[in-house]
């Protein structure tokens, strides 16, 4: 693909996101400024601006642009926020967040992915991200509390350690396993949780499909 092709497809994607209700200008501008093609393998570069998830190393996926935009918009981040992200994957969602908040702490269970994501962020001169290989179920207690938490892997239920590491008034957005009434396959609902005092308020949003959240650091890579 030529760079004109890429520019054209990117404009089409931004228009499509707007038509689907993503209207936050800072968010759209962040998506416009981050070259998604560098986060994926060359073999898939031609599909970088198609609205679809794509395979990355370690059997994982880079999320679909609409879902990245949707979850980010529901997170309501601003430039004073300290954000925790679970499931760095390619680092694409991390890069979008980094453009919108003060600092992103991101955890990935595959060392290979964490390292590659860091390299991609470095190549874009994004300097307000701290990445580590670890188990996202534990969160990052040394850096807690967080204004916002986003999880991009599917958990069977809301991880309590993450709720504990959220600031008072903070928001967490994550996919949580759901069961179809006809049991026709796995999917999740995006949940938005707001922390108030001792209690939490949860809101069920759209249906999605994410790779599972798996406990422990990956041994393989």
Q: Indicate whether 116 belongs to the interface with ligand SAH (CB under 6 A).
A: no
- Tell me the window of 11-19, 121-129, 198-206, 210-218 that interacts with ligand SAH (CB under 6 A): 210-218
Question: Which of the residues 3, 29, 53, 63 is marked catalytic?
Answer: 63
Per DSSP, helices labelled H in 20-165 are: 25-33, 65-75, 92-100, 111-123, 160-164
Q: Residue 79 Cβ, how far from ligand SAH at the closest point, in Å?
A: 21
Q: Indicate whether 108 belongs to the interface with ligand SAH (CB under 6 A).
A: yes
Q: Indicate whether 27 belongs to the interface with ligand SAH (CB under 6 A).
A: no
Q: Indicate whether 84 belongs to the interface with ligand SAH (CB under 6 A).
A: no
Q: What value, to the nearest 5°, has the Cα angle with vertex 77 and ends 191 and 131?
A: 85
Decide if 74 contacts 192 (C-beta within 8 A).
yes
123 is catalytic: no
Sole residue written with tokens 């967490």 = 172
Residues at the contact surface with ligand SAH, assessed by CB under 6 A: 60-63, 86-87, 89-90, 92-93, 107-110, 113, 135-137, 152-153, 211, 213-215
Annotated catalytic residues are 63
């Amino acid at each position: 693909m030529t760079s004109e092709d890429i520019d054209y497809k990117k404009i089409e994607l931004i228009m499509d996101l707007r038509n689907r209700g993503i209207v936050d200008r800072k968010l759209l501008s962040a998506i416009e400024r981050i070259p998604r093609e560098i986060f994926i393998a060359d073999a898939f570069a031609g599909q970088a601006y198609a609205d679809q998830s794509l395979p990355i190393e370690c059997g994982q996926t880079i999320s679909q642009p609409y879902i990245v935009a949707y979850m980010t918009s529901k997170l309501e981040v601003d430039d004073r926020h300290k954000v925790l992200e679970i499931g760095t994957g390619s680092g694409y969602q991390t890069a979008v967040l980094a453009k919108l908040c003060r600092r992103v702490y991101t955890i990935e269970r595959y060392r290979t992915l964490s390292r590659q994501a860091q390299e991609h962020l470095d190549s874009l001169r994004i300097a307000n991200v701290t990445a580590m290989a670890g188990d996202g179920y534990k969160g990052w207690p040394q850096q807690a509390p967080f204004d916002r938490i986003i999880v991009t892997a599917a958990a069977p239920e809301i991880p309590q350690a993450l709720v504990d590491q959220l600031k008072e008034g903070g928001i967490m957005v994550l996919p949580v396993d759901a069961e179809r009434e006809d049991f026709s396959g796995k999917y999740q609902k995006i949940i938005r949780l707001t922390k108030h005092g001792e209690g939490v308020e949860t809101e069920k949003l759209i249906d999605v499909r994410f790779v599972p959240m798996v406990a422990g650091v990956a041994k393989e890579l």
